[in-house]
Amino acid sequence: MIGTIHPKGTMLLRERVGEAETKNGVKIEMSLVNFHTPCIECINTGKFYTVSWADLLELAMAAGVADPVSEANNVQ
């Protein structure tokens, strides 16, 4: 698995970036740990997920962020 799940109550120095809520009522808070590591907190469970920038880059590349624009599906 890419990234790390931290249990409820983990002490992290975080700077809040934003929040979201899914259609199913799952509340998410997005932040940066130590001013640089992306972090997602599930408000419903209190758990945190962190991922390094290197791993995030790897995920983006695997998802096709560097692929040419496809006119067939109009993705830009």
The mean pLDDT of 18-41, rounded to a whole number, is 97
The mean pLDDT of 12-37, rounded to a whole number, is 96
Q: Is the pLDDT of residue 9 over 70?
A: yes
Q: Which helix (H) or strand (E) holds 56?
A: helix 53-63
**pLDDT for 51:** 97
Extended strands (E) in the chain: 4-6, 14-21, 27-33, 37-42, 48-50
pLDDT digits (tens, 9 = 90+) for 31-55: 999 999 999 999 999 999 999 999 9
Q: pTM of the prediction?
A: 0.79
